[in-house]
Structure 1
């Protein structure tokens, strides 16, 4: 169901890792908030849907001990089409409320965490795609990546308290942040309590005090924007995935694997795999929900905010490339941004940190691994899965020489594409579309790292939700070699453009066959 050109003719191995047992509050449903109200509440009781007026049971759960928090929301006001590009946009305020229902005070200490919005961590065009080293303050890659980096580095924002106390039978606002219209706010947090407590997330318009945030909770009305309320049967039947609004078990995933590259060949393992994208391993790295809102997805499919630590013990000699891929699938149209986040790679040579921007159907080389012969070479790959990503990735270790050969073929194909696009008539829509819609007015191809594979095989169909699961057919077999008929030396009108299109098609087919043959060795 999922096609990665780098893995053509080869097989992936399961990681056989596991999640820990830390409960995490996920506030991501609705992702696109339209106004004031409750987003999620784990205290017992009900809240009323703005869309239908019906009471919906809270995602009831009482935390005690280690816990985590993940919040990710956008503000899409009903009048968003009338917003001025130059004027100040309206805002909501998101607040995290801690509730102590018991008769004694509860003390909480926070280990690490961060809160960012689109004002503090904007998307800057030059940082979006490719592989780049991380700096000390990499806040220009969006709120989701900015908070994940702090968690990855084990840091706590200075504006967050290291320790707080919730008095008996009391509620406090732990933090609040601005959510600009058409913008994003994201929060990740990890802590430990010495007693039971509950949590809630609310959205308010221009609150002047914490009391106004608490009053939104007391009104018992859910924030508008719950677009999946009319699709409950589809969610329960796993025909569609909503966003996650509930409590998931697991804030970390760990796996250890040994592999002899000389004896077993290149290594491919799934990373953040799903039922749809597990690369033939049948391994699904999805942690369960123990409590959820009725319109939430059934599982924590996105694993947003979960830390992944993969320890590889590799035997081999010489340079190998560590590569991240996202699959292409049949029924494709244009590629989309499939990952925008950060990695740590630790080897005996030291620690490397990098930001990665990846499109569907692409493979990018994260770093070169210089393996010593005759010993096991330890490599740890770590990431905190960011909200700006679509799960189902492949992590590979392949020979550097193989990557260089594929890269050279890709460059030759790109020259053919450029020549055809500059002189020929518009190509048929069945040919691969190279420009990224995220690039906007800048157009053209972005600057990418040493390995960029954009296979001729179909790419993943964009979806309304990155969690939707559709039955798909396997990739088509290689096309037979084309026999080119002799052409007249006196072309008729339109023949020049047809010739370029044919040559473009032939280049694509030749590249596909060479790539499949190369990967099959």
Structure 2
């Protein structure tokens, strides 16, 4: 279905009546819309007429077969900021078509192509993200993704692998449509390899393929990853691999002194045995590629310079080291240690993963800065793939009556300024999924008991979705809610975390 502009004349009759009864389950919205609806949309519309989500009562016509809801309420920047933990971010070129260097922080000295090396050592705690795909490789060859670590020190280095996961698109984690929200207590629900990898790391897992420690002798290299991206036997010769790790480099022995290491992600086709079979490249072959190879071609689109204000905006893909892997914040009112829930029927939304030209009226860009990057790749880590958002909401009910409040992670229409005076949602939503990944929810339940829930979300842009949590707050009561997730690869920013008080 073709998108309609948002400034079309709005024509509608809305009747929103609330049935008697307590709590969210007692609310019923009846909506009468002057719209020519096709059969498929009409069926969806009938379902929306009895939804418990308050936004369903605000849907208004924006053209044939399309309805718009404008969520009134305050939109706030997210408190806090990114930490200083670096993240090795290898995501360009996303589609690898030739052998070569994907991202190298090695020094350029003695290499054939010095510009392919960014000369940036990593030391102590850092994280690593590598996310690449292949399509129709020559003769169906298997492409290998290699991650090489070099110890430049005069004594051994221990690389601690605290958490690590690496998954293929096929068969490990295919892109598949999922329900908008489904419980995911053990990580069995996923919708892509990057999504599955960051979910595993969020849960503190390390796959058995990865050792707890990697010992690297002085002035030597070791392979941190040497894994295939096979296409043979697949109906479509398309596959990908996503890897995410939390690492810590220390001088050998029991010393906790941080140690410099250099890291490179590389792409190489499988080597062929005399009998025609494939084998994985060996360390010496990866080292030769690092020393003599150039950046993998072809490159992604060149990004729009930050100083450019007109024309097309291209974010491009990331290949560099970003500064920041965690955003931790307490969502509270200014000068207070609690967040007063809004008036009934209103919401307070905090923006998440905002980018240039998509700050939803806040002016806040959350994309991590890059300490080093290649000139033809992204200027910032747009989308903050893999970054952990750890958000605490101490919800306070200032009223003299019990109120029902909801907490929702949702994806409105991307805007720099709120053109309609609020966040824009649509029925039916725009087709492409903009958020798909797992969110962890921790909160105080009945009798003060701590509860933890995991939900896999699969949201289209502008989709009106159910809340993560609905709870009653007694007069003057405060209850803590924590929303925690790794921003999933292949999600598209921005999102908002909304606290809404039910009418």
Fold conserved between structures, TM > 0.5: yes
Checking the alignment, whether the CA contact within 8 Å between 2:394 and 2:479 is kept in structure 1 is yes
CA separation in 1, counterparts of 2:375 and 2:465? 38
Query: For residue 440 of structure 2, what is the aligned residue in structure 1?
Result: 344
CA separation in 1, counterparts of 2:82 and 2:414? 28
CA separation of 1:400 and 1:90: change in aligned 2, threshold 3 A: farther
Query: By how many angstroms is 1:42 displaced?
Result: 0.2
Query: For residue 69 of structure 1, what is the aligned residue in structure 2?
Result: 128
Checking the alignment, whether the CA contact within 8 Å between 2:149 and 2:221 is kept in structure 1 is yes
Checking the alignment, whether the CA contact within 8 Å between 2:163 and 2:201 is kept in structure 1 is yes
CA separation in 1, counterparts of 2:215 and 2:6? 49
CA separation in 1, counterparts of 2:382 and 2:303? 17
**Bigger shift: 323-332 or 262-271?**
323-332
Checking the alignment, whether the CA contact within 8 Å between 2:185 and 2:453 is kept in structure 1 is no
CA separation in 2, counterparts of 1:47 and 1:392? 43
Query: For residue 266 of structure 2, what is the aligned residue in structure 1?
Result: 202
Query: For residue 132 of structure 1, what is the aligned residue in structure 2?
Result: 182
Query: For residue 226 of structure 1, what is the aligned residue in structure 2?
Result: 299
Q: Does 1:108 align with 2:159?
A: yes
Query: By how many angstroms is 1:334 displaced?
Result: 5.1
Q: Does 1:399 align with 2:501?
A: yes
For 1:214-363, list aligned pairs within 5 A. Answer: 214-228=287-301, 231=302, 234=305, 237=308, 239-258=313-332, 259-262=339-342, 265-316=346-397, 317-328=402-413, 335-349=431-445, 350-363=451-464
SS in 1 for 2:284: helix
Unaligned runs of at least 5 residues, structure 1:
84-88, 402-521
CA separation of 1:310 and 1:33: change in aligned 2, threshold 3 A: same
Unaligned runs of at least 5 residues, structure 2:
8-54, 56-67, 231-236, 251-258, 271-279, 333-338, 420-425, 446-450
CA separation of 1:360 and 1:41: change in aligned 2, threshold 3 A: same
CA RMSD of aligned residues (A): 2.9
CA separation in 1, counterparts of 2:144 and 2:194? 17
Bigger proportion of residues as helix: 1
CA separation in 2, counterparts of 1:46 and 1:301? 31
Checking the alignment, whether the CA contact within 8 Å between 1:65 and 1:192 is kept in structure 2 is yes
CA separation in 2, counterparts of 1:44 and 1:208? 23
SS in 1 for 2:76: coil
CA displacement, residues 406-459 of structure 1 (integer Å, 9 cap, x when unaligned): xxxxxxxxxxxxxxxxxxxxxxxxxxxxxxxxxxxxxxxxxxxxxxxxxxxxxx
Query: For residue 387 of structure 1, what is the aligned residue in structure 2?
Result: 489
CA separation of 1:97 and 1:237: change in aligned 2, threshold 3 A: farther
CA displacement, residues 333-382 of structure 1 (integer Å, 9 cap, x when unaligned): 95311111110011112011010001111132242331332221101001
SS in 2 for 1:189: strand
CA separation in 2, counterparts of 1:13 and 1:76? 42
Query: By how many angstroms is 1:274 displaced?
Result: 1.7
Query: By how many angstroms is 1:266 displaced?
Result: 2.1
Query: For residue 209 of structure 2, what is the aligned residue in structure 1?
Result: 159
CA separation in 1, counterparts of 2:180 and 2:160? 37
CA separation in 2, counterparts of 1:121 and 1:398? 37
Checking the alignment, whether the CA contact within 8 Å between 2:151 and 2:216 is kept in structure 1 is yes
Query: By how many angstroms is 1:120 displaced?
Result: 4.5
Q: Does 1:20 align with 2:83?
A: yes
CA separation in 2, counterparts of 1:241 and 1:124? 23
CA displacement, residues 236-278 of structure 1 (integer Å, 9 cap, x when unaligned): 7474211110000111001111221255942211011123222
Query: For residue 371 of structure 1, what is the aligned residue in structure 2?
Result: 472
Query: For residue 107 of structure 2, what is the aligned residue in structure 1?
Result: 44
CA separation of 1:392 and 1:329: change in aligned 2, threshold 3 A: closer
CA displacement, residues 294-313 of structure 1 (integer Å, 9 cap, x when unaligned): 11111111200100001111
**Bigger shift: 271-280 or 133-142?**
133-142
Q: Does 1:98 align with 2:149?
A: yes
